[in-house]
Chain A
Amino acid sequence: MSILVNKDTKVIVQGFTGGEGTFHAEQCMAYGTQIVGGVTPGKGGQIHLGQPVFNTVKEAVAATGATVSMVFVPPAFVADAVMEAAQAGIELAVVITEGAPVRDMQAAKACAVKNGMMTIGPNCPGIITADECKIGIMPGSIFKKGNVGLISKSGTLTYEGANQVCNEGYGITTAVGIGGDPIIGLSYKQLLQMFQDDAETEAIVMIGEIGGDLEIQAAAYIKENITKPVVAFIAGQSAPAGKRMGHAGAIISGSAGTAKEKMDALSAAGVKVVVSPAEIGKAVKEVLS
């Protein structure tokens, strides 16, 4: 078991023939992901990486039966790509691209929700179900199969967390990078519930950061709905207010969005909160033994 994606998931790539799209699609295929085609407008009919290229998502879905799209188009075209996927019947769009305008994502997300499509990202490393399916840019080798679910706003902290979990002798069911932008698709709440419902997942690692209040919402949700143990780390305890720390969404506005308020809320909800990401592995071991 796992959440959202597995070895049977059929995936297309939007921005298939571009540099990034090509490189990462190839890596995903090598991992075992079923990339069944891709979309690059104007290149329909070509074969790329052994798979068919289509002009539109609609055509790609009709021909391949894909349910998931991995999006690698440039920032200015992200909203267009997400809306195209949503209206073509894609069930889950995984948006890797960083730098999509916030206004565009408001519209794209509203369209996705209206069409019943889930979105992961933008500005994220993607999603991986260990040993089955990788849709994104993470190094597959560090995700060993196991019983810990992982949700993170940050790419490299996803790797750091997964690596520690595996070094402690555990492994990962599915890891999801939800992205560091102000407006993102699936958030902690929905994913926590999916891991709660997944028979194989026994503990959940949640990695957040300063800015916004998704972690606070997650804390309230955990208190009411999640019975599996949760380990959390919030990045940016030492970040100054008013400065954007790399991610577009990682900014403390006035007195809101600090690491401390998020850590306090999670602790109060019974979550095992660690002060340093170096402690994630040990904390998982503690909650599972």
Chain B
Amino acid sequence: MNIHEYQAKQIFAKYGVPTPRGIIANTPDQAVANAGELGGNIWVVKAQIHAGGRGLGGGVKLAKSKEEVRELATEILGMTLVTHQTGPEGKLVQKVYIEEGADIKDELYLSVVLDRAAEMPIIMASTEGGMDIETVAHDTPEKIIKIAVDPAFGFQGFHGRELVFGLGITDKAEQKKMIDFAKKLYTLYMENDAEMIEINPLIKTASGDFLALDGKMGFDDSALGRHPDIEDMRDISEEDPDEREASQYGLSYIALDGEIGCMVNGAGLAMGTMDTINYMGGTPANFLDVGGSANAETVAKGFEIILKNPNVKAIFVNIFGGIVRCDRIANGIIEATKITDVHVPVIVRLDGTNAPEAAEILSNANIANLIVATDLGDGAAKAVAAAKQA
């Protein structure tokens, strides 16, 4: 689960990680009032969406008067912001963060992520703040410092020294501030079961203070149960409504831009099915894992969600029953054809537990549009052919 910048900064503040002061606004009036409350004569108006690249997309702008705050808030609120992370359809901006202007002397990069190879968190830092870190990693990998911290022993002095010497910070007071900053960030990463924290840029002010000018945080979904305060930060409007609806039925669904709807058990086979469709010259319309407890109701729901997508020209049901029993899936398909208008060809491949029973159920049901496949390759080929004919 991801959260907004302003929410990440609330967590930072709780742990004493310094940030500029700011207040969230839903309307231009609130934005102006917030600017007044913050004081000063320069503010930043920042679109709050779950995607990076907001500045380049026109979602982060500087205001030098309260009138300008109002103008910019009016412009940004309600705009559809397109960045390299939103996809071409962009994201609707519903909140703006009004932040006091900062006196930027230097821009750095700091993040904490899980290093899957080392099986522990790593702190990544760079002097190239404000740039796309993927680009820095590609073009000048020597400018990225990586420091693994073993959670069994925690953040030690040498981690801090590697960090500040690596960043070329020589002033003693500044070294101390940076080490304190990173240590707090590591602590909040661990205590909140974060998946990643990224601060880009982390700025040094003229007075030698370090501030998190941006803040991006993602959390381990499996650990949200023990963090109700973070679960409360969930912004449903940032999630795909179909994916969300599917998850309520225990289905894992992701929309894609192809023509063949897929319903599969198991994440690996679901990806493998998409790959096979591609390989045979078709295009998958979605990823859908019906999970281990699939029954008639969830299968029917799966059909409904797949068929909401107007691009779908055929549906390939590919089940290799282990825990999932094929006869239940067969009943689900029959149930679905009663509840939902399944107007496209449905190619069904059922193998594994109770497959013979399932075959009999389907052949007795006499459903129009139903094509039986013998194996994965056969099913994908038939689905691609059916989509091409439609």
A residues with CB within 8 A of B: 75-76, 99-104, 106-107, 109-110, 125, 137-139, 142, 152-157, 159-160, 163, 180, 182-183, 207, 209-214, 217, 233, 235-240, 242-243, 245-250, 254-255, 259, 275-279
Contacts and interface: CB of A to CB of B under 8 A. Distances in A.
Contacts of A275: 275, 279
B134 A277 contact: no
B275 A238 contact: yes
Nearest to B321: A139
Interface residues of B, number: 54
B269 A250 contact: no
Nearest to B352: A139
A239 B289 CA distance: 14
B86 to A, nearest CB: 11
Nearest to B152: A110
Contacts of B137: 254
A180 B267 CA distance: 9
Give the interface centre of B119, B267, B377 by most chain A CB atoms within 10 Å: B267
Give the interface centre of B190, B226, B264, B268 by most chain A CB atoms within 10 Å: B268
B156 to A, nearest CB: 16
Given A100-B222, A155-B322, A245-B287, 15 more contacts: A102-B193, A103-B220, A104-B223, A125-B322, A152-B268, A154-B272, A213-B117, A238-B271, A238-B274, A239-B271, A240-B254, A243-B287, A248-B220, A277-B272, A278-B276
Contacts of A214: 116
Nearest to A154: B268
A233 B268 CA distance: 11
B267 A250 contact: yes
Nearest to A167: B375
Contacts of B193: 101-103
Interface string B177-215: 000000000000010010100000000000000000000
B289 A246 contact: yes
A156 B267 CA distance: 8
Nearest to A152: B268
Interface in B242-277: 252, 254, 256, 264-272, 274-277
B275 A237 contact: yes
Give the interface centre of B116, B222, B375, B377 by most chain A CB atoms within 10 Å: B222
B377 A276 contact: yes
B175 interface: no
Contacts of A110: 119, 150, 152
A102 B268 CA distance: 20
Contact of B223 (A102, A207, A249): A102
B225 interface: yes
Contact of A137 (B221, B225, B269, B323): B323
B222 A75 contact: yes
A249 B320 CA distance: 22
Nearest to A216: B117
B254 A243 contact: yes
Contact of B272 (A157, A163, A212, A255): A157
Chain B, interface SS category: mixed
B265 to A, nearest CB: 6
Contacts of A237: 275, 278
B257 to A, nearest CB: 9
Contacts of B138: 255
Interface in B360-376: 375-376
A99 B222 CA distance: 5
B380 A278 contact: yes
B58 to A, nearest CB: 22
Contact of B265 (A76, A156, A236, A242): A156
Interface in B129-161: 134, 137-138, 150-152
B275 A160 contact: no
A78 to B, nearest CB: 10
Contact of A163 (B221, B278, B320): B320
Contact of A245 (B151, B271, B352): B271
Interface of B: 85, 114, 116-117, 119-120, 134, 137-138, 150-152, 190, 193, 195, 220-223, 225-226, 252, 254, 256, 264-272, 274-280, 284, 287, 289, 320-323, 351-353, 375-377, 380
Contacts of A154: 266-269, 271-272
24 contacts: A103-B151, A103-B193, A103-B223, A104-B223, A106-B120, A139-B322, A139-B353, A155-B268, A156-B322, A159-B320, A160-B269, A180-B268, A183-B116, A210-B271, A211-B116, A212-B117, A213-B116, A238-B275, A238-B284, A245-B267, A246-B252, A254-B134, A277-B376, A278-B276
Give the interface centre of A106, A255, A278 by most chain B CB atoms within 10 Å: A278
B120 A246 contact: no
A222 B75 CA distance: 57
A209 B268 contact: yes
Given A107-B151, A254-B134, A163 B119 contact: no
Nearest to B283: A238
Contact of A248 (B119, B221, B322): B221
Nearest to B253: A246
Given A103-B223, A240-B256, A242-B85, A233 B272 contact: yes
A102 B195 contact: yes
B275 A182 contact: no
A212 B221 contact: no
Nearest to A114: B152
Nearest to B287: A245
Contacts of B280: 276
Contacts of A125: 322
Contacts of A238: 256, 271, 274-275, 277-278, 284
Nearest 8 Cβ contacts at the A-B interface: A154-B268, A246-B267, A156-B266, A278-B377, A156-B269, A101-B223, A235-B271, A157-B268
A11 to B, nearest CB: 19
Given A239-B274, A276-B279, A101 B220 contact: yes
Contact of A106 (B119, B269, B277, B352): B119
A157 B221 contact: no
